[in-house]
Chains A and B, each alone.
Chain A
Amino acid sequence: MPLLDIRNLSVDFATASGQFRAVDGVDVNVDTGDILAIVGESGSGKSVSMLAMMGLLPWTATITADVMSFGGQDLRGLTPRQRRKIIGKDMAMIFQEPMSSLNPCFTAGFQIKEALRLHLGLDAKERHAKAIELFEMVGIPAPEDRLKAFPHQLSGGMNQRVMIAMAIACSPKLLIADEPTTALDVTIQAQILDLLTGLQRETGMALILITHDMGVVAETAERVQVQYAGQKVEEQPVGDLFETPHHPYTAALLAALPERATSRKLPTIPGVVPGQFDRPMGCLFSPRCQFADDRCRNTPPAPCGPELGLARCHYPLNAKAEATA
């Protein structure tokens, strides 16, 4: 049984102008020890799908799923109290903006020890020792002093290390990193990614890495899931995805890379992700797809089989190559 099994997850927001479907039938599968990357342009529902699973969306969100289980436990219909026993302990998440993700009024030490007390029930001395150990694990120099520091006294990279230390404090089975390096300098980015993959190897936890950056994907992930406008459009192991993308959107992402794996941001594909009011009838990518025809514009495609990377497309690419290979 996979560690995390989500099938047909949808999230609708009640907005002033009506319902808006931010996540539309997404599947996510992660096993212990996996590194899964979720890639897609801004607004493709990457964050929302993970926040839905953590139970961190505002009450305006309606979440539906056929299956949503974590470690054998059904996450649907958990009471808030039951969910709080899981999140922050077995399932942890770090966010994009390290500077604003830590509470400015409390020291780094207070914030990490809080999690240790809540989930592990350690006493003050044990908490202190464990906090120091965690800070050392994530490469924070002079941990004693840093425990006493307020977030505004630390750099962005240092704050992200504090966030990571906090997230791994209770040895989670799954860590979700939502664009953990987007707000950081390039050199720091690489350090943080090394840290995350290193910790993943050491602890054997599963890692979901949400990113814009194909370079990050190539270096860190094992499996990639491409999302577009709230849907999962393709999923493949990293190597195969780079070699033989099946969905035209994936192909466009890769083709627009000047040199593969060196660009920092997702390349620009003409057009934008459809929003609440301009959702196409058929394939959501059809307005921007160079292969689109009437069938694409009128009939939404169903996902293909696993041999075609589950591509949500009427005319998957590299189909022949795959068949003859």
Chain B
Amino acid sequence: MFRYLLSRLLTFLPTFFGVTIISFAFIRMLPGDPIIVMAGERGVSEERYAELIQQFGFDQPIWRQYLDYLGGVVQGDLGQSFVTKKPVWDEFFALFPATLELSICAMIFAVALGLPAGVIAAVNRGKLFDRTLMSTALVGYSMPIFWWALLLIIVFSGMLGITPVSGRISLLYYFDNPSGFMLWDALVSDQKGAFWSALHHLILPTIVLGTIPLAVIARQTRSAMLEVLSEDYIRTARAKGLAPGRVNGVHALRNALIPVITVIGLSVGTLLAGAILTETIFSWPGIGKWMVDSIFRRDYPVVQGGLLLIAVMVMIVNLTVDVLYGLINPKIRKR
């Protein structure tokens, strides 16, 4: 297991450098001069422009700029935002909990509904529930996030007026947010109703962000279960006299989880992509919104550093999934 982990870590290195190149190149390929954009309506004098060019190192050849950037990255320095002048690193970790909170909720939503739905569909293969669920999943999977979010907002916030449309908590509440996780901080803040308000604000973003993973997990669970249910060992389990709940929920599900775990891991990438849109729609102050804002401001260090950190997060999640995969599949663990 240890050697396996080490070898996985080694394969991260090329990916890591690849991401530094891509994120570096990506933001520079966008049209628009960062200094002009920063100056905005006021414009900028020629002397000041030349000064800034030098200050940001844009007068250097491009490979030089990249090496400077890489040199910083290797030492753990991601630079400072052009706009706020704060280190990218600090900004990221101030905002990341908001995204993490939303992503975790979306994932819990997707897994908590997707797993049982897939299991029930497989057990009732071809029956009404199965067919309804699978067509719904297909719709959910192909739903454009933006459109889906607007639809939910119109129905639940506009027509029914039961959910807030933006932010993380009602403005009535104010307390320190040391952990960055609103639910947790609200819970320990001792302010009556704060927790519910935070939870309330999470509902729509969670549904919007969790819909695609939900559809993917339900479909994958169903197909994995169908495959497993025809195995000999399921017949053995039933021949023991075990109840269907135990046969399906323990003997079959445990085997079906192996491919499902992989899919859950893969959908973390999708989730982060979805978070960018979801956060923008719901004014959710997380890294998704931060990235979008920074792209519009041509805030090179933030975009580069943010992309890199997101990529590292995805890699860490994938590694965790690999470990989990080994734990759940004894054939891999003992190898």
Q: How far is the CB of B230 from chain A (nearest CB, A)?
A: 9
Please indicate the chain B residues that have their CB under 8 angstroms from the CB of A86 in the complex.
241
In the complex, whether B231 has a CB less than 8 A from a CB of chain A is yes
Please indicate the chain B residues that have their CB under 8 angstroms from the CB of A101 in the complex.
232-233, 235-236
**Once the chains are docked, how many angstroms separate the CA of A180 from the CA of B236?**
13
In the complex, whether A106 has a CB less than 8 A from a CB of chain B is yes
Number of residues in B with C-beta < 8 Å to the partner?
Answer: 21
Those of A259-290 within 8 Å (CB) of chain B: none
Q: Is the CB of B237 within 8 A of A89?
A: no
**Once the chains are docked, how many angstroms separate the CA of A100 from the CA of B233?**
6
In the complex, whether B3 has a CB less than 8 A from a CB of chain A is no
Encode A155-194 as 1/0 by CB contact (under 8 A) with B. Answer: 0000000010010000000000000000000000000000
In the complex, whether B131 has a CB less than 8 A from a CB of chain A is no
Q: Is the CB of A84 within 8 A of B255?
A: no
Q: Is the CB of B239 within 8 A of A54?
A: yes
Partner of B238 from the list A56, A85, A153, A163 (CB cut-off 8 Å) is A56
Please indicate the chain B residues that have their CB under 8 angstroms from the CB of A95 in the complex.
232, 235-236
Q: Is the CB of B331 within 8 A of A152?
A: yes
Q: How far is the CB of B236 from chain A (nearest CB, A)?
A: 5
Those of B187-232 within 8 Å (CB) of chain A: 231-232
Q: Is the CB of B239 within 8 A of A84?
A: no
Q: Is the CB of B235 within 8 A of A105?
A: no
Those of B149-163 within 8 Å (CB) of chain A: none
Residue of B233, B237, B242, B331 with highest tally of chain A CB at under 10 A? B233
Sorted nearest first, the 7 A-B pairs with minimum C-beta distance are A88-B241, A88-B240, A100-B232, A103-B233, A84-B241, A150-B330, A105-B254
Q: Is the CB of A118 within 8 A of B241?
A: yes
Encode A60-92 as 1/0 by CB contact (under 8 A) with B. Answer: 000000000000000000001101111111001
In the complex, whether B328 has a CB less than 8 A from a CB of chain A is yes
Please indicate the chain B residues that have their CB under 8 angstroms from the CB of A152 in the complex.
330-331
Known contacts A152-B330, A152-B331, A153-B334; decide if A103 and B236 are in contact (CB<8 Å).
yes
**Once the chains are docked, how many angstroms separate the CA of A187 from the CA of B204?**
65
Q: Is the CB of B236 within 8 A of A102?
A: yes
Please indicate the chain B residues that have their CB under 8 angstroms from the CB of A133 in the complex.
none
Q: With CB as the reference atom, state the residue of chain A lying closest to B329.
A: A105
Q: Is the CB of A89 within 8 A of B236?
A: no
Given A84-B241, A104-B331, A105-B330, 5 more contacts at CB 8 Å?
A87-B240, A88-B240, A103-B255, A150-B331, A166-B236
Known contacts A97-B232, A100-B232, A103-B233; decide if A114 and B330 are in contact (CB<8 Å).
no
Please indicate the chain B residues that have their CB under 8 angstroms from the CB of A150 in the complex.
330-331, 334
Q: How far is the CB of B333 from chain A (nearest CB, A)?
A: 9
Q: Inter-chain contact count A-B, CB under 8 Å?
A: 69
Q: Is the CB of A103 within 8 A of B330?
A: no
Q: 26 A–B contact pairs at CB < 8 A? A: A56-B238, A56-B239, A83-B241, A84-B242, A88-B239, A88-B241, A88-B242, A92-B239, A100-B231, A100-B232, A102-B233, A102-B236, A103-B236, A103-B251, A103-B254, A103-B255, A104-B233, A104-B255, A104-B331, A105-B254, A106-B254, A114-B240, A118-B240, A150-B330, A163-B236, A166-B236
Q: How far is the CB of B117 from chain A (nearest CB, A)?
A: 21
**Once the chains are docked, how many angstroms separate the CA of A89 from the CA of B241?**
8
**Once the chains are docked, how many angstroms separate the CA of A119 from the CA of B242?**
9
Please indicate the chain A residues that have their CB under 8 angstroms from the CB of B243 in the complex.
81, 84
**Once the chains are docked, how many angstroms separate the CA of A86 from the CA of B238?**
12
Those of A223-255 within 8 Å (CB) of chain B: none
Q: Chain B at the A interface: mostly helix, strand, loop or mixed?
A: helix
Q: With CB as the reference atom, state the residue of chain B lying closest to A86.
A: B241
Please indicate the chain A residues that have their CB under 8 angstroms from the CB of B231 in the complex.
100
Instruction: Please give the residue numbers on chain A whose beta carbons come within 8 Å of chain B beta carbons, in ascending order.
Output: 54, 56, 80-81, 83-89, 92-93, 95, 97, 100-106, 114-115, 118-119, 150, 152-153, 163, 166
Those of B29-85 within 8 Å (CB) of chain A: none
Please indicate the chain A residues that have their CB under 8 angstroms from the CB of B236 in the complex.
95, 101-103, 163, 166
Q: With CB as the reference atom, state the residue of chain A lying closest to B243.
A: A84
Residue of B232, B242, B243, B331 with highest tally of chain A CB at under 10 A? B232
**Once the chains are docked, how many angstroms separate the CA of A46 from the CA of B53?**
86
**Once the chains are docked, how many angstroms separate the CA of A6 from the CA of B328?**
43
**Once the chains are docked, how many angstroms separate the CA of A86 from the CA of B239?**
10
Residue of B236, B237, B329, B331 with highest tally of chain A CB at under 10 A? B236
**Once the chains are docked, how many angstroms separate the CA of A89 from the CA of B240?**
7
Q: How far is the CB of B321 from chain A (nearest CB, A)?
A: 17
Please indicate the chain B residues that have their CB under 8 angstroms from the CB of A56 in the complex.
235, 238-239
Q: Is the CB of A104 within 8 A of B330?
A: yes
**Once the chains are docked, how many angstroms separate the CA of A150 from the CA of B241?**
22
Q: Is the CB of A105 within 8 A of B328?
A: yes
Please indicate the chain B residues that have their CB under 8 angstroms from the CB of A166 in the complex.
236, 240
Please indicate the chain B residues that have their CB under 8 angstroms from the CB of A88 in the complex.
239-242
Q: How far is the CB of B88 from chain A (nearest CB, A)?
A: 44
